[in-house]
Structure 1
Amino acid sequence: MSFGTGGLFLNESVAIAGLYQELNDWTEVKKVAGQQGVIPFKKQSSVSRSVREIANRLSALNSDEIDLLCSGSYHDQVSVLWLALCRAYRFIGEFAVELLSERYLSFRTHVTYDDYDAFYAGKAEWEPELEAISTSTREKLRQILFRLMRETGILSQDDHICRAMLSPRFANLVTRTDPQELRYFPGADIGSQGPV
């Protein structure tokens, strides 16, 4: 549940992924990214926290996915970043599969903060560490997750679930690694992916 820093960080993620292609070492990447000012914040503590957060997300990707993040289209880039979020944070992955994809399939596409709160409460019954998180932190995490979903196009600006239109290149990468991960993308179907 440590995804509470900033938003999607698309440009910064691409820059950090490029550093990883050069250095092939996440520890070194974090150090160099902090020194190079990849994150345009004034406070060094904010820069360090954001670099650490982005590196944590991107470290969930394999080298082909990193390559696509660096060289792909905008749609491929945001798809890769959503995949990274779902892998790096189990809660986001489960939310994507159990709430977003299931609701999309049942044509109930509007998602509210109440839906999130009910999902969170259900998970907290089985995960005591979720129950221990303060109300203000829960609200911040909820706000950030909705922001991330809008930035990646998973949700529209009025909080309706959008059908994922994955490029064949991205869909093939996911399918090679784990076809079940396509469920992170509402309405994704490997047999009907068209060009983006």
Structure 2
Amino acid sequence: MVAVARYSLSFTVGTLLTREAGIAVPLYFEKRDWKAVRARLVDGNLLQARTTSSAARLAREAIQRLTVFTDLELELLVEASPRERSLLLWVAACRRYTFIGEFAEEVVRERYLLLTPSLSYGDFDSFVSGKALWHPELAELKDSTVKKLRATVFRMLAEAGLLVGGQIQQAVLSERVREALDARQPSDVRFLPVRVPTEAVQ
């Protein structure tokens, strides 16, 4: 069997981290140094965490996701409407975590395109079971951990406006967000439930 990189599954520290991004990104543009941003977030408890350790974890998680963006994308994130920002931060999670990105592309977007827009916990569990064939680290997870991962991903989808009442919602992309996502090869539109010409996402 070909070796496959282990999934990073540390995303349960937070959901989309919209508030945290709104605090961290302006700090980044002051010095363009993520290490300095992290220190300011933690030392000043700017994320209002209950303990220093939780502040450090939250700051680390937020910055790990934000570093997947280019400076131009970060500028767009600052200027974005709440709707645009939530979609961009969902894409950030998909970029940062291969596990989330594959679920978004192979399950969420696929079900939307097949006109079967319902999404259940069972769909997530089936995805995990299928991936465990290639990722033994998934087979080693406790049931409680799988439930936590599942709950976090579903909350992210809900915060991004992509899941309402168990039904997948079409992502409504502004022209500037679509252009930003299409700048990647392959296009990061693939992480969203949206109908676009096939050649635009491959």
Given the two structures, how large is their TM-score scaled by the length of structure 1? 0.92
Q: Which amino acid aligns with 2:168?
A: I
Q: Which amino acid aligns with 1:166?
A: L
Aligned with 1:186 (options 167, 171, 193): 193
Alpha-carbon distance between aligned partners in 1 of 2:53 and 2:133, rounded to the nearest angstrom: 34
Alpha-carbon distance between aligned partners in 1 of 2:176 and 2:19, rounded to the nearest angstrom: 21
Aligned with 1:116 (options 121, 124, 133): 124
Query: Where has structure 1 moved over 2 Å in runs of 4 or more?
Result: 177-180, 188-191
Alpha-carbon distance between aligned partners in 2 of 1:90 and 1:108, rounded to the nearest angstrom: 24
Q: Indicate if the aligned counterparts of 1:163 and 1:186 stay in contact, CA closer than 8 A.
A: yes
1:131 equivalenced with 2:133 (yes/no): no
Q: Indicate if the aligned counterparts of 1:164 and 1:188 stay in contact, CA closer than 8 A.
A: no
Q: Indicate if the aligned counterparts of 1:97 and 1:184 stay in contact, CA closer than 8 A.
A: yes
Aligned with 1:106 (options 114, 121, 145): 114
Can you list the C-alpha shifts for 1:148-167, whole angstroms capped at 9, x where unaligned? 110011111x1211001011
Can you list the C-alpha shifts for 1:53-99, whole angstroms capped at 9, x where unaligned? 11111111111111111121111111110110000000110001000
Identity of aligned residues (%): 36
Aligned with 2:19 (options 4, 11, 17): 11
> What stretches of structure 1 of length at least 5 have no aligned partner?
192-196
CA-atom RMSD, angstroms? 1.5
Alpha-carbon distance between aligned partners in 1 of 2:126 and 2:36, rounded to the nearest angstrom: 40
Which is further off, 80-89 or 65-74? 65-74
Q: Please identify which structure carries the higher helix content.
A: 1
Q: Indicate if the aligned counterparts of 1:34 and 1:48 stay in contact, CA closer than 8 A.
A: yes
> What stretches of structure 2 of length at least 5 have no aligned partner?
1-8
Q: Which amino acid aligns with 2:163?
A: L
Given the two structures, how large is their TM-score scaled by the length of structure 2? 0.89
Number of residue pairs matched? Answer: 190
Look up the match of 2:102: 94
Q: Which amino acid aligns with 1:118?
A: S
Aligned with 2:178 (options 166, 171, 176): 171
